[in-house]
Amino acid sequence: MTIILNKEEFTIQAQKLMEGIEKGAVFIYGTDTIYGLGCNALNAEAVKRVRMIKGRKDQPFSIIAPSKEWIFANCEVDVRAQEWINKLPGPYTLILKLRKKNAVAKEVIPASDSVGVRIPKHWFSDVVEALEFPVVTTSVNKADKAYMTSVEDLDTSIKGAVDFIIDEGEIKGFPSKIVHLEKEEVEVTDRSKTPYSKH
């Protein structure tokens, strides 16, 4: 049965819920852009659950990094990337090549050596920092369907498939800007113009 909590209730039960995340819980949480569907990015079985819930076979997922230090330790960072990392926390997903292949479970990026990295300007980033490992972040929707803005418009099949939901009411944001830093030329994709997100 899915547990629905507000921020205060999550904070009270944080230790227990964070232990659950480490062990493989799949959950929904707010960010500075839209709601995210997530799990421990090091837990292969949990990532497979997220893929099954979304109906996404092999498209790469992004992660919330526990810190900027984690990004420097695990990703290839040049001068251009450094400039974007300096903008974090914020509404950006930085696509970076991994230096350490085991920094995330292979199921996060099945056919890629790059990963989308976020640090949202949102209290949940403090939770990820405390966890000390990356968390999968992907929009809460079936592939090619509209992403959720509140628990009320959540697809019932998704609602029943997650372990818990942190309900923060309506979040009227847009998916984060994607900044490709793994290519020769920096490429920025603004997804605020699209009706739904595939990311």
Task: Express each pLDDT in 94-114 by its tens digit.
Answer: 999 999 989 999 999 999 999
Residue 39, domain member (yes or no) = yes
- pLDDT, average across residues 39-62: 96
List the beta strands (DSSP E) in the chain. Answer: 3-5, 27-29, 36-38, 62-64, 92-97, 114-118, 135-139, 164-166, 177-180, 187-189
- pLDDT value at position 198? 38
Q: How many domains does the chain have?
A: 1
- pLDDT value at position 117? 98
Specify the higher pLDDT residue, 12 or 172: 12
Residue 22, domain member (yes or no) = yes
- pLDDT value at position 195? 43
Using DSSP bridges, classify how beta strands 164-166 and 27-29 pair: parallel, antiparallel or unpaired. Answer: parallel
Number of separate helices (H) and strands (E) present in the chain: 7, 10
- pLDDT value at position 193? 57
Calpha distance 34→130 (Å, rounded) = 22
Amino acid at 102: N
Residue 198, domain member (yes or no) = no
Residue 199, domain member (yes or no) = no
Angle between helices 124-131 and 14-23 (to 10 degrees): 60
Examine the pLDDT at 199 and tell me if it is beyond 90. Answer: no
Residue 46, domain member (yes or no) = yes
CATH number, domain containing residue 72 = 3.90.870.10
Residue 127, domain member (yes or no) = yes
Examine the pLDDT at 197 and tell me if it is beyond 50. Answer: no
**First CA to last CA across the chain, in angstroms?**
27
